[in-house]
Amino acid sequence: MITTPKRVGRLTASLIGAVGVILWATETMLVTLTTSIPPLQTVALAFMFSAAMSPAVWLLTGSHPLEAFRQPIRVWVFTVVSLVGYHSCIYYATQQAPPAAAALLQSTTPLMIVLGSAFLPGERLRWWHVVGALLGFVGVTMLVETGGEGASTGSSFFYLALIGVAAGLWGLYSVIARTLPDVPSSTLGVFYAASAVITFAAHFLLETWVPPQPIEWFAVAALGIFPMGLAIYFWDFGLKRGDIQALGAFSYVEPFIGAVLVAVFTGAALSLSLFWSGLLVVTGAVIASAGLWKKSQTTFPAIASSALPETWLTSVSTIASRTDLLDVTNRVVTRLVLIGRDYDNPRSHDREMKELLFALGCLVQIWDELESEHDDNAQPSPSCTLVA
């Protein structure tokens, strides 16, 4: 479920990422049980429990325990800094910052993800992504509106700045993680362990150890297993293989569910404003994920017609047998090799290269589908559709 060997559809991956968002919602309630523990100590202990899940994740996914150590140093720095920086800033600042302003700052992360994804290769920002994200932002604004916090002090601005840094850092992590599809999500366990070591060091330098009570041990363990463990496993997987814009908008659901859980477990009244806020957030999430509910198939952007008498994509669409499939595959690969040898003016083939690469993507999908059927007599059925 978390490793990359098996192909997982875009919708399935997005749903897995959405489960991560729902698990995140437990963080608000669990943190209320750890307020007597220093924030860095809480983060370090939670990461310790997150890392302790690693053997189970490796066993369930069939991944190699040393996979993380095969990753480039930039992946290590990026992941560990994001994990430590985000959680340390959030846990340290939210105890001191004005609640409504802090929640609003945190809610900018989904908007950063949706808008930032437009700059990623192969991603296109559609109107429904923007509308869904804005509706979610309005819903969260209603959720945290208190109207009576008073003026912010200088220290409040410092804590709010930390939350702003955390929100930006997590938005950046979510967008950049999309560009690292070859880094299995199962490697996160080792990164959790590294994060725990670093945060423990920071705790002993800056804080005094407070022995947790039994209920606090339970809360910290739950934090490590759910919002800081499984949630990030699922979120990372969804980001890399699902619809990042839809997931960004759906993450607005997290503060709403968190508020409901806090109200239920603390006995607080559920207000009508909470209902309207939730309605806006959920509506925004549904609109933002509109592209996921279309007919499941591989789609490729339409390409302007070239000067070729017969386009490569037309050749793919006419495949009717394994012989045709082998022939078109050979011709596409041969043409790619010939273009690669044209050192004098490689940019002269840009338009044809786009078409060749899309055609190659279709061919790979057809071969994969044939292989998955385990039937030597099965015939290829091109299912790649050109969309504007």
Per residue in 52-108, pLDDT (tens digit) is 999 999 999 888 899 999 999 999 999 999 999 999 998 888 777 766 566 666 767
8 A C-beta contact, residue 129 and residue 249:
yes
Residue type, position 22, single letter: I
Check residue 385 and give its pLDDT.
47
| Mutual angle of helices 272-288 and 253-266, in 10-degree steps | 150
Q: What is the pLDDT of residue 298?
A: 42
Q: Mean pLDDT over residues 180-209, rounded?
A: 94
pLDDT on residue 310: 47
| Better pLDDT: 272 or 63 | 63
d(CA 71, CA 119): 24
- Sequence-separated (6 or more) residues with CB below 8 Å from residue 166: 85, 86, 87, 89, 90, 93, 106
**Rounded to two decimals, what is the model's pTM?**
0.68
Tell me, what's the pLDDT at 230?
95
Per-residue pLDDT, averaged over 283-294, amounts to: 68
- Torsion, Cα 58 59 60 64, to 10 degrees, reads 40
**Structure confidence by residue, pLDDT tens digits, 351-370:** 777 777 777 878 887 777 77
Q: How many other CB atoms sit within 10 Å of the CB of residue 20? A: 24
Strands 299-301 vs 385-387: parallel, antiparallel or unpaired: parallel
Q: CA separation (Å) from 157 to 30, 89, 149, 151, 165? A: 25, 13, 13, 10, 12
Closest CA to 85 of 150, 162, 151, 157: 162
- Give the pair of three-digit tokens for residue 101: 């302003």
Higher per-residue confidence, 169 vs 350:
169
**Of 14-28, 116-130, 145-159, minimum mean pLDDT range:** 145-159
> What is the reported pLDDT for 363?
80
Predicted confidence at residue 136, as pLDDT, reads: 75
pLDDT, greater one: 99 or 31: 31
Q: Looking at residues 315-341, what average pLDDT do you find?
A: 76
Q: Which residue has the higher pLDDT, 304 or 166?
A: 166
Give the chain's length: 388
